[in-house]
Copies of this chain bind each other. A is one copy, B any other.
Amino acid sequence: MATSARLTESLMVDTLMNYLVSMARTVESAMNRALDAIVSLDHPRTAALPGEVFLLEPRINEMEIVIDEQAIRLLRLGSLPEEELRLIVAALKLNNDLERIGDLAVNLAEGVVSLRQMPDAQIPEELAPMASAVRTMVSQSLGALISRSVEMATTVLESDDVVDRYRDRIFERQLKRMTGEPQVVAPCFQFVLATRHLERIADHATNIAEVTIFWVRGLDVRHGRGLGGLRESNVTKNSPGLDSDVTPGGHTDHLIFT
Give Cα A70 to B245, complex, Å.
Answer: 9
- Of B69, B76, B88, B244, the residue contacting A244 (CB under 8 A) is B69
Interface membership of A113, Cβ < 8 A = no
Central interface residue in A70, A220, A225, A256, by most chain B CB within 10 Å: A256
In the complex, what residue of chain B is closest to A72 when comparing beta carbons? B242
Q: What mask results when residues 218 to 247 of chain A are scored 1 for a CB within 8 Å of chain B, else 0?
A: 001011010000000000000000111101
- Of B66, B79, B182, B222, the residue contacting A253 (CB under 8 A) is B66
Q: State the A residues within 8 Å of B (CB).
A: 18-19, 22, 58-59, 61-66, 68-73, 75-76, 78-80, 82, 85-86, 88-89, 92-93, 96, 171, 175, 178-180, 182-183, 185-186, 189, 192-193, 196, 220, 222-223, 225, 242-245, 247, 249, 251, 253, 256-257
9 residue pairs bridging A and B, Cβ less than 8 Å apart: A18-B257, A66-B257, A71-B89, A72-B85, A72-B86, A76-B82, A78-B80, A171-B189, A189-B192
Assess the B65–A220 pair: CB atoms within 8 A. Answer: yes
Residues in chain B near residue A222, CB distance under 8 A: 61, 64-65
- Of B88, B183, B225, the residue contacting A65 (CB under 8 A) is B225
